A and B are shown apart, each in its own frame.
Chain A
Amino acid sequence: MASLSRRHLLTASSALALFAQAGRPTLAAEAPKRGGTLSVILQPEPVTLTPAANTAQPTQVVAGNIFDGLVYYDSNLAPQPSLAERWEVAADGRSITFHLRPGVKWHDGQPFSAADVKWSLENVWKTINPRDKPLFENVTSVATPDDATVTLTLSAPSLPILSVLNGVGAPILPKHLYEGTDVLNNPLNNKPVGTGPFVFKEWKRGEYVLLERNPNYWDAGKPYIDKLIFRVIPDAGARAAAIEKGEIQYAPFNPVPFRDLERLAALPALKVETRGYEWLSSLFYLDFNVEAPYLKDVRVRQAIAHAIDRDALARVVWFGYAKPAISPIPSTVTTFFDPTVPVYAFDVKKAETLLDEAGFKRGADGARFAVTHDFLPYGDDFRRTGEFLKQSLKRVGIEVTLRAQDSAAFIKRVYGDRDFDISSSYNAAFPDPQIGVVREYWSGWLGTKTPWTNGSGYRSAAVDRLIQDAAIRPDQAARIADFKQFQQRVQRDLPTLPLLELKFSTVHAANLKGLAGQGDQVYASLKNVCFDDAAKVN
């Protein structure tokens, strides 16, 4: 019930804010302008436009505009009403009830109802969605007493559910179009029908995805923009040119290299925004292969942590669009973050001592031993981080060989063949560490060669137990306590070294307003967005 009362409080405070604004005519005059076409960068081209079985970034960037979720997340990551007007969680956590907004229609005109939510939960969230599956596993039955009510019954509580209920986190698909079909191969996945503020119009492969304003949208008056064009521009230099020229007015997820970003940020017609990514809370880390000959010694792993100047890394390699990470749970996930975990301050001497203690003395040539580093093949920043690592470790006598490969080869090597020493990667923590963080440490899936799960090969019965306990506790305070213990433990064993909390950037036209209201904005719809001065659009 705690979340219910907080929600009421928030509703009340926003109502107060509305009253306050209504009393001021100057603000009322700044009503959002209708109309215009918004061109958006979409990179890389998505595989599908439906986030049912595919949780890739470009899919979600588009789909967030087509599919409304039960809720959206505000800047504090608290759920706010969207398709669900309100919800209740039973005190024992074993039942969750959603009261749906009446009168909502699918883009094909059919009414949206509780049956759609039930069907999506049973056929998508609980089965084929790789992010939701572990969270909804405990849902034993879904009841729909009427068209506007959905009640989940759980065999054990699963509080993280409340953190993935937005349009892309728990996508609601139209039951009347999907029932009885093979969800993975349904052609509608590429021409989606949703309930959201924008209607799918056309996807021209290799060129663009076109969405148009939904005139029957439930949130009257919205969206303000008439057309959304998501353009596929594969080359970073061309993206920078298109943004600079104004052909593109909204470009999320680090659309250009940092060097170009600095240049674009200085232009008066453009703005750089780092808000709107809070729901993701991305953390960049190194995985140490704990079965590798040198790295199996915890002292070596700790020495490497001491050898890296993460402040300099954030400043030099990441141009300040990152800050040193403290714990595997990013500081932006305030409820669970534990700032008291062991930190490995930059200290070359300490690193050398630890390596000496571990028995790896410097040889005649000054080197102690050699390791390989496979950096994440998702862009130059990760390669340059690898070069930074190489230099840092050379100083303490560890030779690093960098290995480059494409993503298929990387995933096979690290998660399939486990033929590596140190790899780099980043994850999204989401508001609840159960969603994005624990997969990195849980040993349950070791040996299944599943990408992005436990790259280090770490096995700890204690950590496994903490993860499993936290998953099914009905009491948030107890879960927080579990996660604090979890953080202390994994930071001591250090199978994975949290390097940086990444600050993604969005470049957008300066006259584009309404982009900063939500914690999940980059994956949410652009329904609150408008051009300040419609004349400037074309």
Chain B
Amino acid sequence: MRRYLKRSMFQIVFVILGIAIINFFLLHLAPGDAAQVMAGEAGSATPEYMAALRRQFGLDQPLGMQFLHYMANVLTLNLGFSFRQGMPVAQLLLQRLPATLLLMTTAITFAATVGGTLGFLAARQAGRITDTIISAVALLFYATPVFWIGLVLMVVFSVLLDWLPVSGMASIEAGHTGLAYGADVARHLVLPAVTLGLFYLAIYTRLMRASMLDVYGQDFIRTARAKGVRPHRIAVRHVLRNALLPIVTTLGVQLGSVLGGAILVETVFAWPGLGRLAFEALFARDLNLLMGILLCSSIVVVVVNLLVDLAYTVLDPRIELS
């Protein structure tokens, strides 16, 4: 176990360094640079203005120098500076992190619990009308574009029914503090979290159903039935527990993508998360910021993968790490 962890850590460092190097060169392949985007937005430019911007952004340096500078930053755990935003990248990330974590954990919790339950029900009623309805609804949510669900929910629940705010994370004009602020954020959270959750929910429903049906077909279930164990007890104690493994894997994958946020949902609901930040950084060719986000995301992905491996050993004692 200890040897496994040691080896994993060693590998992780190299994987992340490799990702950082690939990121750097891949992103520099994109046509155009930050100075051109900024001049483009300004609608007016002079040659001197372009030169001043490039100097300010460090774009006048040769690519090799820029790379050495970047690697020096990475090795000293410095994420660099976003010249476009006029702020250190680490500060920008920390500002956006809470919003993203809040949205993703709410959405994933909602999706895993509700989706898991629906999948469980569908598997128990396999082939009957309940199963058909649940499967059809899950398929529908899975196939519908997220931004469209978001807009429809917005039009129905915000504009027509006037129950929830349209977008943003808080009502700035109200100036809430403390508990009232928390309630206000919760009200703003409902629509984006449900929108994102509905997409994930479909995945968990289908996964849980398939996984349970798979376990149902195994010998030990037949044995349990033959022993006369009641169906409900079989479903909960024997099938569900064994069917959880794929759910944990998926959960791990999705937790890994937490930092990437949910670009579409964040955009539709003007949710100030990391996904939108990364998306806008890409269009603005704000490469320092983008590389910072990608680096942090890659760290989260490899660490969560390690944790999922560890979780397997707890859930299924037959699995050993070596």
Q: Is the beta-carbon distance between A408 and B33 smaller than 8 angstroms? A: yes
Q: Is the beta-carbon distance between A452 and B270 smaller than 8 angstroms? A: no
Q: Is the beta-carbon distance between A207 and B56 smaller than 8 angstroms? A: no
Closest to A445 in B: B47
Say yes or no: is A128 at the interface (Cβ < 8 Å to chain B): yes
Contact partners of B269 in chain A: CB under 8 A: 235, 238
Say yes or no: is A259 at the interface (Cβ < 8 Å to chain B): no
Contact partners of A204 in chain B: CB under 8 A: 272
Which of A44, A208, A227 is close to B168, meaning CB atoms less than 8 Å apart? A208
Which of B45, B166, B268 is close to A451, meaning CB atoms less than 8 Å apart? B45
- With contact pairs A128-B52, A238-B154, A407-B283 given, residues A245 and B162 touching in the complex (Cβ less than 8 Å): yes
Q: Is the beta-carbon distance between B49 and A408 smaller than 8 angstroms? A: no
Contact partners of A80 in chain B: CB under 8 A: none
Q: Is the beta-carbon distance between A130 and B45 smaller than 8 angstroms? A: yes
Say yes or no: is B294 at the interface (Cβ < 8 Å to chain A): no
Q: Which of B5-13, B34-42, B220-228, B250-258 contacts A (4 or more CB under 8 A)?
A: B34-42
Which of B39, B56, B167, B173 is close to A452, meaning CB atoms less than 8 Å apart? B39
Q: Is the beta-carbon distance between B272 and A130 smaller than 8 angstroms? A: no
Q: Is the beta-carbon distance between B154 and A241 smaller than 8 angstroms? A: yes
Say yes or no: is B301 at the interface (Cβ < 8 Å to chain A): no
Say yes or no: is A150 at the interface (Cβ < 8 Å to chain B): no
| Docked complex: B25-51 residues within 8 A CB-CB of A | 30-34, 36-50
Contact partners of A47 in chain B: CB under 8 A: 38, 41, 84-85, 284
Q: Is the beta-carbon distance between B96 and A206 smaller than 8 angstroms? A: yes
Q: Is the beta-carbon distance between B85 and A205 smaller than 8 angstroms? A: yes
Contact partners of A130 in chain B: CB under 8 A: 39, 42, 44-46, 49
Q: Is the beta-carbon distance between A245 and B159 smaller than 8 angstroms? A: yes
Q: Is the beta-carbon distance between B166 and A242 smaller than 8 angstroms? A: yes
* Bound Cα distance from A412 to B172, whole angstroms: 39
Q: Which of A5-13, A52-60, A112-120, A518-526 contacts B (4 or more CB under 8 A)?
A: A52-60
A535, chain B: closest CB distance, angstroms: 16
Which of A37, A185, A235, A412 is close to B267, meaning CB atoms less than 8 Å apart? A235
Most buried by B among A130, A134, A210, A409: A130
Contact partners of A407 in chain B: CB under 8 A: 32, 37, 40-41, 283
- With contact pairs A56-B41, A439-B44, A450-B50 given, residues A238 and B30 touching in the complex (Cβ less than 8 Å): no
Contact partners of A451 in chain B: CB under 8 A: 36, 39-40, 45, 50
Say yes or no: is B197 at the interface (Cβ < 8 Å to chain A): no
Contact partners of A232 in chain B: CB under 8 A: 270
Count, chain A residues at interface, CB 8 A: 63
Which of A190, A238, A453 is close to B167, meaning CB atoms less than 8 Å apart? A238
Say yes or no: is A372 at the interface (Cβ < 8 Å to chain B): no
B48, chain A: closest CB distance, angstroms: 7
Q: Is the beta-carbon distance between A408 and B270 smaller than 8 angstroms? A: no
- With contact pairs A207-B169, A235-B267 given, residues A428 and B45 touching in the complex (Cβ less than 8 Å): no
Q: Is the beta-carbon distance between A450 and B41 smaller than 8 angstroms? A: no
B317, chain A: closest CB distance, angstroms: 45
Say yes or no: is B130 at the interface (Cβ < 8 Å to chain A): no
Q: Is the beta-carbon distance between B268 and A235 smaller than 8 angstroms? A: yes
Q: Is the beta-carbon distance between B272 and A185 smaller than 8 angstroms? A: no
* Bound Cα distance from A412 to B40, whole angstroms: 10
Say yes or no: is A48 at the interface (Cβ < 8 Å to chain B): yes
B43, chain A: closest CB distance, angstroms: 6
Q: Is the beta-carbon distance between B44 and A452 smaller than 8 angstroms? A: yes
Say yes or no: is B86 at the interface (Cβ < 8 Å to chain A): yes
Contact partners of B38 in chain A: CB under 8 A: 47, 54, 56
Contact partners of A406 in chain B: CB under 8 A: 32, 283
Say yes or no: is B307 at the interface (Cβ < 8 Å to chain A): no
Contact partners of B170 in chain A: CB under 8 A: 207
Q: Is the beta-carbon distance between A227 and B272 smaller than 8 angstroms? A: no
Q: Is the beta-carbon distance between A185 and B268 smaller than 8 angstroms? A: no
Say yes or no: is B151 at the interface (Cβ < 8 Å to chain A): yes
Say yes or no: is A416 at the interface (Cβ < 8 Å to chain B): yes
Closest to B154 in A: A241
Q: Is the beta-carbon distance between B166 and A55 smaller than 8 angstroms? A: no
Q: Is the beta-carbon distance between A241 and B32 smaller than 8 angstroms? A: no
| Docked complex: A183-230 residues within 8 A CB-CB of B | 184-185, 187, 189-190, 204-208, 210, 227, 229
- With contact pairs A205-B95, A237-B151, A241-B154 given, residues A128 and B49 touching in the complex (Cβ less than 8 Å): yes
* Complex A-B, nearest 10 residue pairs according to Cβ-Cβ distance, in ascending order: A408-B32, A206-B272, A412-B32, A448-B47, A56-B41, A130-B49, A409-B31, A37-B173, A411-B36, A55-B42
* 25 pairs, CB–CB < 8 Å, chain A vs chain B: A37-B173, A47-B85, A54-B38, A54-B42, A130-B39, A131-B42, A134-B46, A205-B272, A205-B277, A206-B99, A206-B273, A207-B272, A233-B167, A235-B267, A235-B268, A241-B159, A241-B167, A244-B159, A245-B162, A428-B43, A445-B47, A448-B47, A450-B50, A451-B45, A452-B43
Residues of B within 8 A of A (CB): 30-34, 36-50, 52, 56, 84-86, 92, 95-96, 99, 147, 151, 154-155, 158-159, 162, 165-170, 172-173, 267-270, 272-273, 276-277, 280, 283-285
Residues of A within 8 A of B (CB): 37, 39, 44-45, 47-48, 53-57, 128, 130-131, 133-134, 184-185, 187, 189-190, 204-208, 210, 227, 229, 231-235, 237-238, 241-242, 244-245, 247, 405-413, 415-416, 427-428, 436, 439, 445, 448-453
Given A229-B173, A241-B166, A452-B44, 6 other A-B residues pairs in contact with their CB atoms under 8 A:
A55-B42, A233-B167, A233-B168, A238-B151, A244-B159, A450-B45
